[in-house]
Structure 1
Amino acid sequence: MQIREMTLKELYPVYDLVKQLYTELSYDEFEDLVYDMRHMEYKMFGILERGELVCYGGAAVQTSLCHKRHLYVFDLVTDEKHREKGYAKMMLEYLQDYAKTAACEKLVLSFKWQGKNVIQV
């Protein structure tokens, strides 16, 4: 198992996983959005098992009055075939460590739960 930052050359496997979360998102729109988010230092992180991307987290260091300097996790998804194996927990732990090295005070996670947007601090 390997956890690492994904590169722009790996957009196809990232998209294949992300489309499980955002089913209406086309590849072209995904690619445009990823390139648009580069200005905010959006990072793509993946957990790979035997070379297969099984979990993805997209995040950026941000600063706000409410959360001060923090790591904002925009996207977190585990492949349907690999859910209930602890990969999301591993990714969140990795992102917490990344946040500490980036001098962030906290990690903020945005996600959908039962059709509603939720922000967890």
Structure 2
Amino acid sequence: MKIKELTTREEWKAAFPVMKQLRKHLDEENDLQLVEAAAKTSDYKMAAVIDGGNIVAVTGYMPMITLYNGRFIWVYDLVTDEVHRSKGYGARLLAYVEKQAGENGYGIVSLSSGLQRKDAHRFYEEKMDYDKVSYVFLKRL
């Protein structure tokens, strides 16, 4: 098992089947275009857990600055392949992001999680020691 930063279109494409399990609304080409644009303009990074030569978990994150958090890392995506869940891959990947944050001077890692994702909430709060501090609101225009 290793964690690898994914930096090329081919690597992002290889991660898509796992990412699709979280981002069901995306098709492969749309996903690749969004990842490429975010990587170029916003320092978005993607990393994966690779076990037995297969991508089994993926995260996407990037640095941000806001008045409420200051400088921090925002985790946009964190998903483990459904056939590989509960094996510690998500915890290892989130710990990797936390380590990257610390090594780069960011004192906070933050994320949002859909209201329906109760198992994910339990994971963040009970296993990873994250605090629930707000709701995220959205209005489609």
TM-score by length of 2: 0.79
CA distance in 1, matches of 2:33, 2:105: 29
Structure with greater contact order relative to length (CA < 8 Å, sep ≥ 6): 1
- Describe the SS at the equivalent of 2:113: strand
Note the C-alpha offset of 1:113: 3.3
Shift in CA distance, 120/47, structure 1 to aligned 2, threshold 3 Å: farther
* Distance in 1 (alpha carbons) for counterparts of 2:117 and 2:99: 29
- Greater strand content: 1
Question: Who is 2:91 aligned against?
Answer: 89
> Match of 1:6, as an amino acid?
L
Larger Rg belongs to: 2
C-alpha change, 1:60 and 1:120, in structure 2 (3 Å) is farther
Unaligned runs of 5+ in 2: 122-130, 134-141
What percent of counterpart residues are identical? 32
Task: Tell me which residue corresponds to 2:22.
Answer: 21
Any idea what the Cα deviations from partners look like across 1:15-68, whole Å, max 9, x if unmatched? 111111111211111011112212110000110001100110100011111111
Q: What TM-score does the superposition give when structure 1 sets the normalisation length?
A: 0.91
Root mean square deviation of aligned Cα = 1.9
SS class of match (1:71): strand
